[in-house]
Structure 1
Amino acid sequence: MNKSFLSRVILSSLAFSTLAILPNQAVIAQKNPQKPASFWSNISQLLFSNKPPVKPRKGGSRPIDSICIISPDAPSETRIIWSDRPLFAWQGKARKIQLTDLNNNTVIFSENVENTQQYTYTGEPLQPGQTYKLDIFIGDGPAVLVEFQIMESEERDRITAALKTLENKLQAKKSHHEAIAFAKANYFTKLGLWSDVLQQAYSVQKPSPELDRMLKEIPKQLCTQPKSDRL
């Protein structure tokens, strides 16, 4: 694990243990426990900036160039993900997704996805420290693929405890589900865990108008970035 990344996790977790993170958002949620507040503008600005932190993987030749994998994305280094049941999201029409454990080059999961452009993995929890390959298939033809790694156990456990503390505090204040999802997304943003940020955003079943607009813009904005920014 990259030492600078580990340092950011440790520092952020220590700060979070005192709930120094997100004080303003927590107050808003407390005042309006049954109605999600307008939270997502800062995350939207980062996502749709001139140099977006999410780097989708797009096919380079037809017909696979019609698919753009948004989560997990493909930065210059393998994307590290906290969730052991991550979100898979893409733009374009796909037939099937397939997950391979690269430790033994074994396919561990496959699912038909003809009627969706996102899927939260439902198989056995993925293993900390392990690298996986996601393939998205187009019809009977080739696939677009991206590799990602589940975070090492020590860092993952530290973040899990911090998230639980945050969730318990906001639930005690009867905060709306979207407020809790935003608080987690904002925490992941501070750690640069963008696949986990997106998973929290997509997890809201009845999003507010602001979140709904952001979710609709994600594939439009990220998958039309210049190729030099994407790969």
Structure 2
Amino acid sequence: MNQLNSIQFTLLKTFLVLLSLPALPLQAAIPQPHPSVTAIKRNVLATSVGDIVDEIRPKRRGKGSRGNEGEICVFAPIKLVNFDANQEESQETPKIWTDRPLFLWQGGTPKQIELFVEGSTESLWSRDIPEEATGLLYDGEPLQPGQTYEWRLTAPFPIKQPAFQIMEPQKRDRISAELTQLQEQLQGASEETIALEKANYFAKQELWADALQELYSVSNPSPALTAAIKQIQSQNFCPKNEPNDSAS
């Protein structure tokens, strides 16, 4: 458990460091009424760093783990929950904002990925996985808000992974509107700066899969971002001492 807490601390530190780099200036996330540009930048610097620091607290994975060497460990889309010994873990299906999710994993040699509407036995989308790939972006028709999806990796036998849900329309529309404001405020910024600001936005709401997807979306990442992604990929998201909840 301590290892997983360390992972989330490292992930949040990564956001903090990236957002503090001089080469990647912070912009106003959601502007307040009529502040000066200088005031906006000062407020966002304090808010962004402060919020991220506030988020640095014990975390742990939701479902799924790796029991043996060579097994697959999925870490997106996946639930990351606050760890509190006095609270039971919520069994609620993890929700994500994007309707074209990025699937990320460690270990194993999966050959195929399949996506299903919850309860269906007919695959909605499937792709062969390139050799040595550790992730794949869904490139089918946009997934539906409020719908729950199940997916599995074949390596060589089908392995069911934890389900996820595209968040309900009302909340998703609100986030979309806020992201549009953020995008407008970042006009003229680099692709990487925009991705980092969006990742910061998602991280503050504990939408970890969406935050990670923004980091991985940069087509030509800087050395700092490349190093951060490698650091994330090197973490052990599935300690061997936790039971494997995945079912084949």
TM-score (norm 1): 0.72
Equivalents in 2 of 1:227, 1:178: separation in Å? 37
Deviation readout 1:17-68 (Å, 9 max, x if unpaired): 6389x845978xxxxxxxxxxx99x97997xx78346557334468xx6211
- C-alpha change, 1:222 and 1:109, in structure 2 (3 Å) is same
Q: 1:84 and 1:226, CA in 2 relative to 1: closer, same or farther beyond 3 A?
A: same
Do the aligned residues in 1 keep the contact of 2:67 with 2:242 (CA within 8 Å)? Answer: no
Equivalent residue number for residue 90 of structure 1: 105
> In structure 1, what is the equivalent of residue 173 of structure 2?
157
How far, CA to CA, are the matches of 2:158 and 2:120 in structure 1?
22
- The 3 A distance-change label for structure 1 pair 74 and 26 is closer
Counterpart of 2:139 in structure 1 is: 122
- Residue 158 of structure 2: which of 124, 142, 145 is its match? 142
User: 2: distance between equivalents of 1:89 and 1:160?
Assistant: 23
Describe the shift of the 1:158–1:101 C-alpha distance in structure 2 as closer, same or farther (beyond 3 A): same
Counterparts of 1:170 and 1:25, CA distance in 2: 15
Residue 126 of structure 1 and its aligned partner are, at CA, apart by 0.6
Q: Does residue 72 in structure 1 map to residue 88 in structure 2?
A: no
Which string of whole-angstrom CA distances, capped at 9 and with x for unpartnered residues, describes residues 72-116 of structure 1? Answer: 114443211000001111112211111010154431000011332
Identity %: 37
Task: State the Cα deviation string for residues 177-221 of structure 1 (Å, max 9, x = none).
Answer: 110001111111111111000000000111122211121122321
More deviation in 51-60 or 93-102? 51-60
Distance 2:68 2:210 in 1: 29
- The residue number in structure 1 matching 2:228 is 214
Distance in 2, matches of 1:164 and 1:126, equals 20
Between structures 1 and 2, the one with greater helix share: 1
Q: How many residues align?
A: 197
Q: Indicate the residue corresponding to 1:51 in structure 2.
A: 58
Superposed CA RMSD: 3.4
Residue 66 of structure 2 contacts residue 239 of structure 2 at CA under 8 Å; is this kept in 1? Answer: no
Q: Distance in 1 between matches of 2:53 and 2:136?
A: 21
Q: Aligned pair in 2 of structure 1 residues 103, 128: CA closer, same or farther (>3 Å)?
A: farther
Instruction: Name structure 2 gaps, 5 residues minimum.
Output: 1-28, 81-89
C-alpha displacement of 1:143: 1.4
8 A contact 1:88–1:121 mirrored in 2: yes
Is 2:129 the partner of 1:113? yes
Structure 2 equivalent of residue 18 of structure 1: 32
Deviation at 1:142, TM superposition (A): 3.5
How many Å separate the matches in 1 of 2:58 and 2:241?
Answer: 12
Distance 1:142 1:61 in 2: 17
1:18 alignment partner, SS class: coil
1:159 Cα offset (Å): 0.5
Look up the equivalent residue of 1:58 and give its one-letter code: S
Contact 1:96 1:113 in 2 (8 A): yes
Partner amino acid, structure 2, of 1:133: E
- Distance in 1 separating the partners of 2:243 and 2:182: 34
Determine helix, strand or coil for the equivalent of 1:90.
strand
Task: Give the unaligned 5+ runs of structure 1.
Answer: 1-14, 28-38
SS, match of residue 107 in structure 1: coil
